[in-house]
């Protein structure tokens, strides 16, 4: 077992939060409830594995990318509905697409994430130094989640009744890989407000990756996380909405989306590591307000401010919403001066009730 380096947080970050799976597990739909319970059990095992076998995060200094290096290094594995990772290699960087659509989507999603970070933020893979991007598909039976475990991506196929294939939404892939970016930069503590910031940053860049791959402006984007993931019978459109937190779903099995959009409705809870997937709605909404106020393509000015804040070295592991908000304002001022961008940042945080000074 590797010793835990000072300050390093064992990583297990999943797209479907435990509070939502727990809601399904307690529903009257016996089949869905059983699959949710099994997913929760598997997640607990994986989370325990990260605590017991911690992969030391080595500080990486991003370096300029030579032209010959400006490409990803992707490998997709197939778990064949088992749980041994990584599984059997089924596609490498130089291989042509095969017949398995799940494999092809995972491969493309890793590439879309790599492209945004490289082309728009000059970050060479998620660690800034060309880290290989590995993913495992067809994990477990009817597994209702996808996760980043500190080393690789893992995708379930869903149960077909509540959740569909987790490679379908590219923002899910971008979300989970961004946990890796956070791991290698600010390494935000995965609990309470810093944990909610951790989740929000993944939602922000997951959404930007989708928008970039579709060529959408901030006005054209749907600002949904996981659109297309919920089965047709579910009353909902996605896992979360950055535009209107609390409106993504309202279903007999899933319950109602609990995300708040502002600090007035902040949720104090011991569930979900202190509500990391719930209260992330507040910084999510602030980013949406900023991006739509500035207009154009959200990955440009709004995304640049958030990226600079995450990777600039000033964001503390235990940062609160107010700490992050103040730092985004300082970052905007440093890059753009006291003009429209900085004023839009201040306005966005004011609208969600988070102080910037």
* Positions marked catalytic: 176, 277
Q: Where are any strands of DSSP class E within the chain?
A: 13-14, 74-78, 88-91, 133-137, 146-148, 153-155, 224-225, 240-241, 250-251, 255-256
DSSP count for the chain of H helices, then E strands:
10, 10
Burial tier of 1 (Cβ tally within 10 Å: 0-12, 13-18, 19+):
exposed
Backbone Cα Rg of the chain: 19
Residues 261, 274 contacting (CB under 8 angstroms): no
Q: 25 is written with which tokens?
A: 């597990």
Distance from C-alpha of 54 to C-alpha of 1, rounded to nearest angstrom? 7
Strands laid side by side in the 88-91 sheet: 13-14, 146-148, 153-155, 133-137, 74-78, 88-91
């Amino acid at each position: 077992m590797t010793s835990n380096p000072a300050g390093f947080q064992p990583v297990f970050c999943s797209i479907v939060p435990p509070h939502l799976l727990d809601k399904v597990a307690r529903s009257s739909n016996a089949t869905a409830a059983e699959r949710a319970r099994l997913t929760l059990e598997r997640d607990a095992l994986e989370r325990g594995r990260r605590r017991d076998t911690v992969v030391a995060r080595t500080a990486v200094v991003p370096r300029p990318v030579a032209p010959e290096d400006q490409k990803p290094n992707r490998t997709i594995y197939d778990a064949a509905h088992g749980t041994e990772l990584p599984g059997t290699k089924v596609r490498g960087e130089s291989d042509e697409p095969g017949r398995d659509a799940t494999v092809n989507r995972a491969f493309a999603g890793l590439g879309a994430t790599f492209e945004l970070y490289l082309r728009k933020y000059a970050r060479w893979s998620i660690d800034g130094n060309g880290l290989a991007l590995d993913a495992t598909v067809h994990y477990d039976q009817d597994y209702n989640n996808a996760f980043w475990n500190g080393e690789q991506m893992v995708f379930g196929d869903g149960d077909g009744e509540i959740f569909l294939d987790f490679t379908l939404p590219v923002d899910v892939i971008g979300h989970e890989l961004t946990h890796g970016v956070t791991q290698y930069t600010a390494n935000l503590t995965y609990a309470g407000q810093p944990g909610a910031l951790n989740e929000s940053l993944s939602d922000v860049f997951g959404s930007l990756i989708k928008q970039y791959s579709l060529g959408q402006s901030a006005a054209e984007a749907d600002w949904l996380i996981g659109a297309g993931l919920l089965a047709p019978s579910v009353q909902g459109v996605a896992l979360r909405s950055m535009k209107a937190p609390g409106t993504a779903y309202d279903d007999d099995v899933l319950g109602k989306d609990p995300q708040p959009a502002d600090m007035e409705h902040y949720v104090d809870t011991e569930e979900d590591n202190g509500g990391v997937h719930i209260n992330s709605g507040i910084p999510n909404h602030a980013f949406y307000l900023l991006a739509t106020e500035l207009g154009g393509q959200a990955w440009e000015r709004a995304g640049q401010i958030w990226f600079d804040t995450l990777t600039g070295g000033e964001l503390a592991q235990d940062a609160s919403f107010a700490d992050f908000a103040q730092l985004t304002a300082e970052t905007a001022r440093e890059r753009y001066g006291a003009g429209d961008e900085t004023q839009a940042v201040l306005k966005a945080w004011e609208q969600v009730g988070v102080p910037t000074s």
